[in-house]
Structure 1
Amino acid sequence: MSERPVTELAALPHLRARVRRFLAEEQARAPYRPAIDAWLTSASAEFSRALGSQGWIGMTWPKEYGGGECSAFERLAVVEELLTAGAPVAAHWFAERQIGPGILKNGTERQKRAFIPEIVAGRLFFAVGMSEPGSGSDLASVRTRAERVPGGWRINGAKVWSSGAHRAHYMLTLCRSAVSEDRHAGLSQFLVPLDAPGVQVRPIRSLDGEAEFCEVVFDDVLVDDDALLGAEGDGWKQVTGELALERNGAERYVSLYLETMMAARLARPTRRDHAYLGETAAAMWSVRALSLRTLAEENRPQARRELDAALVKDVGTVFEQRQVERARRLLAGRVPGEEDRALLRSAVEHAPSITLRGGTTEVLRTIIWSGLDTGGGRA
């Protein structure tokens, strides 16, 4: 691996210091509770707007649409600081991580000018409409239909496990727009306003009592022609590109950083505790190095990007899931305060879903083997 990404990150102490000052000021102005899995569980529209005012949403996007044209490493430095602090970034997370890049790559000029500046400002939130009830991890088994009508499309169907749909303004929705023997053909994506007539958003309560996920039902929902993202029938190609963005990132190795730091703070000077901390640090830095490599290789083909992202998510989420159980055992009977106990309890409650969301471990390993078998992983 080239030393370039590590060097670039190490050269950004002033940016990291700015983010830390911003977080301290926000805590003083509008206190929030640092959260495990903050990118999924902790949302504040006010915080997202404040972050946007700093230029820290859409940092790598073109200035023409409000972005900062920063490097991917500058963005990663900001994201790492936000996630390790457990900041409430969930409101804008999906809009910035994958929807905005999808619109910039596939959208019309009108769509770019309508959506991108609002995302950058932290004012426009999106949910992702991929998974469907009864389909498990088979993303290609799309039954939500988009039917052409005069002036637009009529959408019927349902999506499930859509993170943050109850606070989102739009959903990027994968629909079957044409009948085809090839399950990956005839799919298209639509930018659907979630306040449109016929849309029902139903929050799903999880083990901790929170409603991070939703089921979204479309009953004769009408959208105009401008709602189609990209060319009709290109939905599968678009989705796989978006999933590569979803699967590779700092959230794959620092979502549980607060738990790790608690374990470090409560560790005892024993061989067992030192082994836990050393193994945790080694594993986290290994996943981080793998993620940095994908950022450094900016011009690799899409198949390689998808393979690398699957590798990062598989290794990262398996690491995080194992760390929860190891931390639970290490800290048994040691956690003195209710705030720390609540943090550990949150990590334990979220652990089962870590290797499910964004693609199960089995799906990821199929992608990895297929990519290696066909030469997608060769240099």
Structure 2
Amino acid sequence: MRLIPVLTAILVMLALYGIVFQREALFSFARGDAGAEPLEQTDTGDAAATSAAPAIGVVVLRSQAQQIDSAVILRGQTKALRQVEVRAETSANVISEPLRKGTYVQTGDLLCKLDPGTRESALAEAQARLSEAKSRVPETKARLAEAQALLAEAKINFNAAQKLSEGGYASDTRLASAQAAMRSAEAGIATATSGLETSKSGIEAAAAAVAAASREIERLEIRAPFEGLLESDTAELGSLMQPGSLCATIIQLDPIKLVGYVPETDVNRVRIGAPAGAELTNGSRVQGQVMFISRSADSATRTFEVEISVPNPDLTIRDGQTAEIAIAADGAMAHRLPQSALTLNNDGQLGVRIVGEDEIVAFRPVELLRDDVDGIWVSGLSDSADVIVVGQDFVTEGVRVKPTYREAAK
């Protein structure tokens, strides 16, 4: 009784094997064909079906490489050309009306005027002492001349007494007296010379006192060191100023600087005097030239500071605005493509798919140079390339396609 289920199971397995693995042979047997011949014909038919599979339609852009300026792109900000905090150098009360922030001042304009107090009297006193010192010079010169005359007379008397003493006509006492008179005249010259030097020193000291008093008076008027805008109100009327007290803050915005940081991989592409452009956050575009490239990298970011000078005659560019900066570098050959043409291969590499020989798809890695309103500029392709711009994500490398070509826009 148990043999029948076993036989039934074997028959079912044989039937399934024939249906699954020998389906074509069974069909051929049913049609009356030979057993080996249908299998060979089936293999040939599969290859023909594969070769005759319909090609995938794609849109291809015929692109020609063009010469472009390979710009160095970086982010930065605007910065005033100069910003100075003008401070007092002496102590006094402010006696001038304040200027309000935003006022445009010229070089030398008065910002703060301080109370002179007794400084003018000190200057007059120093000038009087200078005049007194100068008046002593003729007197000391006369004393020196008198001493020189006495010395000459003493020398004559000494020579005469010496000759008379040698001939026995003058005593030793007379000779000693003449010699003492000569020594006294020499001492008088030294004293007169010292008095003249003292008078000259007095003149120099008095002149220094006059200069110090004059400089102290000059410090009473605090003036603008350059033309620019007041970033703060000047010191209020009546306020007490000490040395170092703030009078005003001035910034110069024409020309203005764009400051950015270039990576160390691109710093050698930037040159002094290279043209540069920038787009500010408000959408305005400005042009300028590179004026400074740092020789020392930032220790934290390993980037180099770059400064660009930009004309700003109407002062519309403010200090501290964010800017997207592009610095012109050596030119390069590149293709302009739609941004949608970019894709990734299985390794995650950025590139495009092109149509090669026999209309077979190939992948080419590219480097993105810049982007604009018309598309992106890439390098890494040959001078002429057929780039798939529609359908590139539905084909893979080695697949045959049916391209529809379109010319690149000029």
**What TM-score range do you get, normalising by the shorter chain?**
under 0.3
In our comparison, the structure showing a higher alpha carbon Rg is 2
Taking structure 1 as the reference length, the TM-score comes to 0.17
The answer to which structure has the higher strand fraction is 2
**TM-score for the superposition, normalised by structure 2:** 0.17
